[in-house]
Structure 1
C-alpha cells in the first residue's frame, strides 16, 4: 500500500463496510434482517483500524485533506459511535425487515462523511464532507413504519438542512470574495475583525451556520426536539450523537480564525449563553424522554462553545473531549430508551416508573447517564464540563463560565427527574410490554459496559484528554 493510501485507511475500512452492506442489500434483501449481526463488530474493527493509524500524519488531495492527531481522534470516535449505534439498532420493531441492510448502509455512509470531515482543511472540502454526512440522514429519519410523525420529522430535517446548507454556501462565496482562498492555513493569517474584513466576517458567520445547525445551537435548534421525538428510538440515538462529532471537529478546525475578543467570537458566546438557558428551561416541562434529550442537546451545544471562544489549546482539547463524552452518555441514555420500548413506541417519563424493579441494571444505567448529563462526579460529564469551564476562565469569558454553572443547577431538575421516575415505587403503565427474557441479558451486558465507560472516563480521563490536548496544540501552532 502506498504512503498516501495508508493515510486513508480508516475511511477505506468504513467504505468496505458500506460496500458489503450494499452487496448484501442487492443480493438478498428479504434475508437482510438476519444478516446484519456482523455490522457492530465491523464498527469495532474500524475503531481498531483508526487507533492503529494514530501515529500517521500527512496531507492528501493537494493539501485539502490533512491527517493529524485531531483527525485520527475524531475518526476513532466516529467509528466507536457507529459500532454502538448499530449494536443498538439491530432490533428495530418499526423498521421493515427488507430495509435493514439499506438502513445500515446509510448509517455507514453518514459516518464516512464524518470521517472525511475530520480531515478536511479546505472550505470546499469541508462543505462537501458536510453534505456527504447529511444526505444519508435525510433518508434514514422517516424510516419508522407508516408513522406520520417520522415523516414530518424527516421533512423538517430536510428543509432546515437545505436552508442551513444554502446559507453556508453563500457564506463560503463571501469568504472567497473577501480573502481569495479557501485553505484554512492561509485563512488563519488573514484579518477577521469586522473593521478590517467585513465581507470575510459576514461570510464566516454564515458558513458557521451549517455547523451550528448540526450542533443544534440556539437559534438553529428548531428541528432537534421534533426529530428526536418523530424518528425511531434507534435512529434518534444515531442522529443525536454522531453528527455532533462532525460539527465539533469542523468548529475546532475553524477555531484558528476565532480569536478571543473578535465580533464573531463574542456572537458565539452570546448564542452559547442563550442556548444553555433555552435548552434547560424547555427541558423542564417535557414529558417525552426523547424530546427532553432533544432540548438537552441544545443546552449541551452551548457548553461546547465554551471551548472555542477561549482560543486556547486547552479549550479545543476540552471541546473535543466533551464531544466524545456527549456521544457516550447520550447513546447510553438512548440505549435504555430502546430497551424499555420493546414495541418501538416513544417512552414517556411515566413509562419509566418502577424501572428499578423491572430491570435494576437498566435503571442504574439510566442514572449513570443522567448524572453524567448533569455533570455530577465521578462521571465523564463532570470532568468534561470542568475542562470546558476552566478553559474559558480568565480569557475574557468569566461571565459565560458563571452562566454555565447556573444553568447546570437548572438542568439538575429535569435530568434527575429521569432517575426519580425510574426509582419510584409505583408500577409501570399496564399497556407497556414486558422486556423479553431472551433480549434482556444481552442488552444489560452492553448497558453495563457503557455505564462503566462513562465512570472510567470520569475517574481517569488523562489519556484521552492528553490526546486531544496534543491535537489542539498542534492546530494552533
Structure 2
C-alpha cells in the first residue's frame, strides 16, 4: 500500500472532483485551495516513497529507484503547474471540477507509465494519460477570444490514435516474437532472435509511439497547433509533465536489444538533426509565444535524442538531466505567460513589451528561462547541451555535433529577441501585472534551480546515470 501511495492520492483526488462535478459548482477559492492541497500531497507522498522497492500486480508494476526518480519529477512539475495556474483563467467556472479531475487522471496515468514493465500495463497507462489530455484541450473557455480549441482537440486525438496504432502494432510484434508481454522476459528472448528484421520493425513501431509523446520529427506535427489551441495552463502541463514520462519509457525500451544498433544510432542521429532544424527554423518566424515554445520544444527533443546515441547508462543519465532542466525552463516560461495573460487569452511576443516595467520579477524569470533554453552559461540549458554534445562527440558523431552547434546559434536569435522585447520595447499596455506572493516565490525558486542545476551538474548527472544503470 505504501509503495503506491501517490497513485492512491491521485485516484482519491480524481474521485473527489468527480463527486464535486455532480453538484452545484462550489466556491472557486475552495476549488483552488483543494487543487493545491492535492498537488502538495502527491509531491509529499512521492518523497515518502522514494526508497520503496517492490513489484506489484504479478510483476507488471515495478516500484524502484528509476520509477521513483521520474515520479518525483512528475509530481514536482505538476505541483508547480497547479500553483501558477490556480486561477484557471482560460477555463470556464462550470467545468473546473471536470478539468481538475481529468488533469489528475492524466498525472495518474503518467505515474503508472513510469512504473509499468509489462506491455499491457504500459498501454493502459499511456491511454489513461492520453485520453485525459485529449479532453483537457477543448475545455478552453470561448470567452478567451480563441476559437481553435476544438480544432486542436480533434487534431490531438486523431494524431494520438494514429500513434497508438503504431505502438500497439509494435507491441503485438514483440509479443508474437517472444511469447511474453513482460519486459524482463522480452529482453532475453530477443537476444536469441535479434538478427531477424521483424525485431527491428517491432522496436521501431513501439518507438514511434513514444516519439509522438516526446514530439520529435517526424511525429511532431501536433505540437504547435495544440500549444496554441489549448489554454495556457493546459499547454504548460502538456509542454512539461508528459515529456518526463515519455523519456522514462523511451529509456526503458532502449535497453531492449535490436540486433542492429548501428542502424538505430544512424536513425536517431537523423531524427535528432531534423528535429533541431525544423523546430528552430520554424520558431524563427513565430509571433505567438506558445507556438514559438512549441517549435522550440521539437528542437529540444532532438537534443534529448543525442543522449540516446551512446546506447549506455551515461548517455541516458544525460538525457534525464536535460529533460529535468528543460521542464524547469518551460515551467518558468509558462508561469510568466499565465500571469501576464489577463483573461486566459494567447499572448503574442509583442504583448511582452516593456515587461520589466510592468512586473520586474516576471521579466527576470522570463529572461533567465529563455537564456537557459538558448544554452547560455551558467544555466542548466548550457550545461545540458555541453555534456550531450561532448558525449556525442566521444561516440564519434562529429557531423551531428556540428549541426547541433549550428542549431544552438539559431536558437539564440529567437530566444533573445523575446528578451529584447521584454526589456527594450515600450509597453503597449502600461498596467502593472499583479502577481500573488506564492507565485513570486515559485518564480524565484525556479530561477534558483535553473542556476543551481547549471552550477552543479556533475553530481546530478552521476546520480541519474547510476539510477538508470539499475534497469539495464
CA-to-aligned-CA distance 1:149-207 (integer Å, 9 cap, x gap): 11111111011001111111111112222232222223323457998221121111111
CA drift of 1:208 comes to 1.2
Q: Name whichever of 55-64 and 107-116 sits farther off.
A: 55-64
Q: Which residue of 2 aligns with 1:290?
A: 290
Q: Tell me if the contact between 1:51 and 1:76 (Cα under 8 Å) persists in the aligned partners.
A: yes
CA drift of 1:385 comes to 2.1
Structure 1 residue 136 corresponds to structure 2 residue 132: yes
1:225–1:32 Cα change, 3 Å: same
Structure 1 residue 187 corresponds to structure 2 residue 186: yes
Q: Tell me if the contact between 1:70 and 1:472 (Cα under 8 Å) persists in the aligned partners.
A: yes
Q: Alignment partner for residue 79 of structure 1, among 75, 78, 82? A: 75
CA drift of 1:442 comes to 4.2
Q: Which residue of 1 aligns with 2:45?
A: 49
Q: Which residue of 2 aligns with 1:173?
A: 172
1:59–1:198 Cα change, 3 Å: same
Q: Alignment partner for residue 6 of structure 2, among 4, 7, 10? A: 10
Distance 1:435 1:197 in 2: 64
Q: Which runs of 5 or more residues in structure 2 are unaligned?
A: none
Q: Which residue of 2 aligns with 1:383?
A: 383
Distance 1:462 1:12 in 2: 35
Q: Which residue of 2 aligns with 1:443?
A: 439
Q: Which residue of 1 aligns with 2:340?
A: 340
Secondary structure, aligned partner of 2:62? strand
Distance 1:316 1:174 in 2: 25
Q: Tell me if the contact between 1:265 and 1:309 (Cα under 8 Å) persists in the aligned partners.
A: yes
Distance 1:40 1:306 in 2: 36
Secondary structure, aligned partner of 2:22? helix
Count matched residues: 468
CA-to-aligned-CA distance 1:114-145 (integer Å, 9 cap, x gap): 00111111122111111111011011001211
Distance 1:29 1:463 in 2: 48
CA drift of 1:356 comes to 1.0
Secondary structure, aligned partner of 1:393? helix
Secondary structure, aligned partner of 1:257? coil
Structure 1 residue 268 corresponds to structure 2 residue 284: no
CA drift of 1:408 comes to 0.9
Secondary structure, aligned partner of 1:15? helix
Normalising by structure 2, what TM-score?
0.94
Q: Alignment partner for residue 56 of structure 2, among 52, 60, 67? A: 60
Q: Which residue of 2 aligns with 1:99?
A: 95
Normalising by structure 1, what TM-score?
0.93
Query: 1:286-435 counterparts in 2 under 5 A?
Result: 286-424=286-424, 426-430=425-429, 434-435=431-432
Q: Tell me if the contact between 1:363 and 1:422 (Cα under 8 Å) persists in the aligned partners.
A: yes
Q: Which runs of 5 or more residues in structure 1 are unaligned?
A: none
Q: Which residue of 2 aligns with 1:452?
A: 448
Deviation >4 Å, runs of 4+: 190-195
CA drift of 1:20 comes to 2.5
Distance 1:52 1:470 in 2: 21
Q: What's the Cα RMSD here?
A: 2.0
Secondary structure, aligned partner of 1:423? helix
Q: Tell me if the contact between 2:339 and 2:433 (Cα under 8 Å) persists in the aligned partners.
A: no
Q: Name whichever of 62-71 and 173-182 sits farther off.
A: 173-182
Q: Name whichever of 319-328 and 329-338 sits farther off.
A: 319-328
CA drift of 1:19 comes to 2.5
Structure 1 residue 111 corresponds to structure 2 residue 110: no
Distance 2:149 2:319 in 1: 31
CA drift of 1:249 comes to 0.6
Secondary structure, aligned partner of 1:91? coil
Q: Tell me if the contact between 1:192 and 1:200 (Cα under 8 Å) persists in the aligned partners.
A: no
Distance 1:246 1:197 in 2: 29
Secondary structure, aligned partner of 1:428? coil
Q: Which residue of 1 aligns with 2:280?
A: 280
CA drift of 1:245 comes to 1.0
1:396–1:365 Cα change, 3 Å: same
CA drift of 1:355 comes to 0.8
CA drift of 1:428 comes to 1.9
